[in-house]
Amino acid sequence: MISPSPFSVKSLALMELSGLAYTRVHGDPRRTPKGKLPILVDGERVIADSDFIQTYLAQAHGVDLDAQLSPSERAQALALRMLIEEHLYWVLAYSRWVDNPTYTRGAFLAALPALIRPVVFRIVQKQVKSGLHGQGMGRHDRADIYALGERALAALADWLGDRPFFMGAQATNVDTTAFGMLETLLASKLRTPLSEAAQQQPQLVAYHQRMRSLLPGLHASA
């Protein structure tokens, strides 16, 4: 896949659609302002978090993919983004770090020395479990968690319908969010009930391929 992080895929898609020249580099979350990736470095400015990267591109560079949307449509797009980033994301996190720990340890930590890999994994897994519990998703059992994810994916497919993009004929900011999530589900080798639920939504599968065709530069830089 382009990146295992839906937020990194989202930010890369934002850069591609912006038309601005950029260079993609691998980062160390321990050296970022908020302890996570992605970040955007623009001269002396360091912008952390994909949402603030989106805002910065609009304010500093005049790149607003939502410029044609009405206030009501912007509100709808925000609600869709929250469904993906504040709900569906936690099902994704559970599917990796709790439900498939062996695969995730190998996929995410393969670059680390074998001796410390289990230690680092336990630390990260503990953080993810704590986040899941605090958010609420981790308080459900496995079947209920995946049922919530399946329901969210079905809602996204129903909203998309026969539109080429989530808000109509043109790609907007919410499309970068949706594409980021679907890339991590549909392009991953890890098969889970969540990824299978995404595969069973033909609108989402076709949409994912449509977005990939729209963003060929991401594959070249991957």
- 32-41 pLDDT, tens digit each: 999 899 999 9
Could you count the other beta carbons within 10 Å of the beta carbon of residue 21?
6
In this structure, what DSSP letter does residue 137 have?
G
Q: Look at the alpha carbons of 99, 101, 106, 112 in this order and tell me if their dihedral is positive or negative.
A: positive
Residue 46 has pLDDT above 80, yes or no: yes
Q: Is 53 contained in some domain?
A: yes
Q: Is 112 contained in some domain?
A: yes
Cα gap 151→176, rounded to integer Å: 21
Q: Look at the alpha carbons of 189, 191, 194, 195 in this order and tell me if their dihedral is positive or negative.
A: positive
Note down the domain range covering 148.
6-217
pLDDT confidence of residue 109: 85
Q: Three-class SS of residue 170?
A: coil
Lookup: tokens for 87: 């709900």
Q: Is 133 contained in some domain?
A: yes
pLDDT confidence of residue 30: 84
Q: What's the domain count of the chain?
A: 1
Higher pLDDT, 216 or 161: 161
pLDDT confidence of residue 222: 44
Percent of the chain with pLDDT over 90: 87
Q: Is 77 contained in some domain?
A: yes
Residue 130 has pLDDT above 70, yes or no: yes
Lookup: tokens for 210: 């449509």
- Determine the average pLDDT of the residues in 146-175: 97
- pLDDT tier at 220, thresholds 50, 70, 90: low
211: domain CATH number?
1.20.1050.10
Higher pLDDT, 219 or 91: 91
pLDDT confidence of residue 110: 83
Cβ distance 153 to 88 under 8 Å? yes
Cβ neighbours of residue 27 closer than 8 Å, sequence gap 6 or more: 37, 38, 39
Q: Is 134 contained in some domain?
A: yes
Residue 58 has pLDDT above 80, yes or no: yes
Cβ distance 156 to 63 under 8 Å? no
Q: Is 149 contained in some domain?
A: yes
Please name the residue that has the structure tokens 């969540």.
Answer: 194
Lookup: tokens for 166: 């989530």
What are the φ/ψ torsions at residue 46 (nearest 5 degrees)? -125, 115
Q: Is 1 contained in some domain?
A: no
pLDDT confidence of residue 1: 86
pLDDT confidence of residue 16: 96
Q: Is 222 contained in some domain?
A: no
- pLDDT tier at 131, thresholds 50, 70, 90: very high
Cβ neighbours of residue 45 closer than 8 Å, sequence gap 6 or more: 56, 60
